[in-house]
Structure 1
Amino acid sequence: MTYMCTRIFNSLNPDFPVTARNMDWFAGVNAFLYTFPVGLKRIGFIPEDTDQFKVPQRQILKWKSHYSSIATVMGDKRMGTADGINSAGLVVNALYDTGADYIPIRADNSSPLLNKRQTEHSPLEESKKVLSVLSWAQFTLDKFGCVKAAAKYFRKQKIQIVEENVPDGLGKSTPATLHLCLSDKTGNSAIIEVNNNAFVVYESEKFRVATNEPNYKTQLEINQYWQYMWGKAETPNSRPLYTVPGGVSSTQNFERASFYISLSEPVNSTIKAVSQTRSMVAACAVPHGFNPRSASISSSTIWSNVSDQASGTYYFLNMCNMAQVWLDFSTEITTCQRVQVMTLEGEELIEQPPIFGNLNDKCTVTNDPYARAKKA
């Protein structure tokens, strides 16, 4: 099975930063757009799952949201934030990372992969608080207003990420191995990986593109080659080639996304910046049914989202629906609300009547899926 998610941060015009992401997956999922206000008290594990973990209560991370946010949340009973933007303009995209290496501590030992990895890891460090990988993106949206602050925090290694399974996903026990891509209104960017239970932070305004694999150090090495081929490197190339691979692997998507962002000119309006970025990420999408090897399970792009950081607008594009929807911060977010944008019935996505446009008025009040349990 392969994963081909792609993230592009378009900061060509610093006045109109836009971040886009393709969500590529092998199955349909339930997906909701949530609005989260400031001041929510939260816990590092989804409340319904807390009892399944061999973690002392004193070690579970607890925090309060410092920023309001709009997020795409996957799943139904078990949930996790995949993407979002907060009121300060920080965008967080959680992409699958096949090389992620952190602690699997689920009480459910049905997965051979978990059993093997569990024997390889040392016990939890008592000095560090623990945070479920499914809550990692939301924690980052809640706590930080810019990339620099988030990168500084994770470099200090104050917390440790622990593994949970991906929400939904055809009922399979698929470990949610992730890395985070961050971008902000200043043009700064970071990719945060977890290697041997420690955070590895790559921070630079030049880090505009990221995909699932290989590790980001290798992605940067690949990019050096292509920057030379396109005549964009410090080393002169008298005969640049303006070509790029056209396949759907993570590496080829990285190269193609880098091709478009590296050879495009800045545009002069929010609408054009959103359109420009949407076109770039669309060039890296995988159509439904694309399965050249006739594999039993194949991945395709199930949604894309585009975060306009200048206006605070968060667009969601369901690939089963030609109409785009969005939420924004035009009105103050005072309650936890949501609207469902993808619905799974059994193993199939339900084709519902299309919804279009601003969904601020379509959201309904709901419980916070990351709420700290109330004392009896």
Structure 2
Amino acid sequence: MCTRVVWPDANGAVLVGRNMDYHRDLATNLWKLPRGVRRNDGVDGDLAWTSTYGSVVATAFDMISVDGLNEAGLAGHVLWLAESVYGERDATRPALSQAVWMQYFLDNFATVAEAVDWIQSTRVQVVQLTDPASGEVPAIHLALDDATGDSAIIEYIDGRLEVHHSPDYRVMTNSPKYDEQLALLATVEGFGGDTPLPGTTLATDRFARAAYYVDRLEQPDTPLQAIASMFSVIRNVAQPFRSPDPGKPDASQTIWQVVADLTNRRYVFESTTRPNIVWVDMADMDFGAGSPETKLDLGSSLALEGGLAGNVSGAFVEHAPLHFLTLTDVRSLAATAAPGS
């Protein structure tokens, strides 16, 4: 599920696009999260912090941030990776729940390099959380990119932390793990091999097409043209509406798409089930400490008749703070659902 691609040289701007592919509606909304908010790891509370940077994030079920951009130009993207195995909990290392994993980096860092330094120095662990609505246990990896054009892909394979850090790592999809994806790309024509550019919805084929087309984009004359160009790439690797293939959660339809201009701090959202494209210009939003958390309810605001379109920076509504799903929440819900409880 999902594709992410970075265009680092769009006439002086860095853009990133991603598809969210999933087999059911994620009830995604957009949130403005200000500086100065106190959060913790969602595991045992040992790792706590106050957000240094404000951000705009897309959520799943208002419980986990799955995509977003902070005011310094650092962006994060959560994608599915079936091979993810996070390992047994090591209490000597800091931990982050899956729900707040991406948010930690948006809250605390301005660049990919800063985030990678912290990851490698702490050997931070990720703790899986069962989705209380479906019972699914997500298997995810994380991409980070920034306004310098830098990029990192963070994976946990057989309990081992693997960080792939280079501005050359522009594309990320799903299985297999990242180093194997790169090896497969090298067999494709134009990347060192002689296999024709593939056309299926497999993660490996989407990886090759995204890498191929982003390298062939013409230089844009305007930021608007740059965004349109990036949409043309991620739409090429989108997945059509379909019944999910048994046992293949990564073969799901594209439910929404995002293009973020990391240089000009614009975050553009498109639902595949609604006709309206909306965007947020972060310069128009108040991220100051003490400012309220605000939410744009996409389920109602993108309705066909009378729905919002265009710049929605002023359409967010004050809301109670976003509550990230925690291990305590999961355990409490499991106990409530247990027979005899």
Structure 1 residues 296 and 133: alpha-carbon distance in aligned structure 2, compared to 1, 3 A threshold: closer
Partners of 1:296 and 1:160 lie apart in 2 by: 26
Structure 2 counterpart of 1:93 = 77
Summarize the alignment of residues 43-54 of structure 1 with structure 2, pairs less than 5 Å apart. Answer: 43-45=40-42
CA displacement 1:282-319 (0-9 Å, x = unmatched): 0011122366x699986200000110112111111011
Structure 2 counterpart of 1:223 = 185
SS across alignment from 1:156 = helix
Summarize the alignment of residues 192-203 of structure 1 with structure 2, pairs less than 5 Å apart. Answer: 192-203=154-165
Q: 1:336 aligns with which of 275, 285, 293?
A: 293
> Are the aligned partners of 1:154 and 1:199 in contact in 2 as well (CA < 8 Å)?
no
Structure 1 counterpart of 2:279 = 326
Unaligned runs of 5+ in 1: 46-54, 104-120, 344-348
1:267 aligns with 2:220: yes
Deviation at 1:267, TM superposition (A): 2.8
CA displacement 1:118-139 (0-9 Å, x = unmatched): xxx4xx2222222111110111
SS across alignment from 1:31 = coil
SS across alignment from 2:186 = helix
Partners of 1:38 and 1:199 lie apart in 2 by: 29
SS across alignment from 2:9 = coil
1:279 aligns with 2:232: yes
Structure 1 residues 245 and 290: alpha-carbon distance in aligned structure 2, compared to 1, 3 A threshold: farther
Structure 2 counterpart of 1:102 = 86
- Work out the percentage of aligned pairs sharing the same amino acid: 27
CA displacement 1:185-228 (0-9 Å, x = unmatched): 111111111124442110111110000111000111122222xx
1:156 maps to amino acid: S
1:95 maps to amino acid: L
Summarize the alignment of residues 1-376 of structure 1 with structure 2, pairs less than 5 Å apart. Answer: 4-13=1-10, 15-45=12-42, 57=44, 60-76=46-62, 79-103=63-87, 121=88, 124-166=89-131, 171-226=133-188, 229-230=189-190, 233=192, 243-289=196-242, 299-331=252-284, 332-333=286-287, 334-342=291-299, 353-370=306-323
Partners of 1:140 and 1:14 lie apart in 2 by: 27
Structure 1 residues 164 and 351: alpha-carbon distance in aligned structure 2, compared to 1, 3 A threshold: farther
Cα RMSD (Å) of the superposition? 2.7
> Are the aligned partners of 1:16 and 1:269 in contact in 2 as well (CA < 8 Å)?
no
Structure 1 residues 367 and 270: alpha-carbon distance in aligned structure 2, compared to 1, 3 A threshold: same
Aligned residues: 320
Partners of 2:49 and 2:93 lie apart in 1 by: 14
1:131 maps to amino acid: L
Partners of 2:306 and 2:252 lie apart in 1 by: 25
Structure 2 counterpart of 1:109 = none
Unaligned runs of 5+ in 2: 327-341
Structure 1 residues 67 and 247: alpha-carbon distance in aligned structure 2, compared to 1, 3 A threshold: same
Partners of 2:139 and 2:325 lie apart in 1 by: 24
CA displacement 1:52-86 (0-9 Å, x = unmatched): xxx6x4x532111111100001104xx10010000
SS across alignment from 1:362 = coil
> Are the aligned partners of 2:99 and 2:324 in contact in 1 as well (CA < 8 Å)?
no
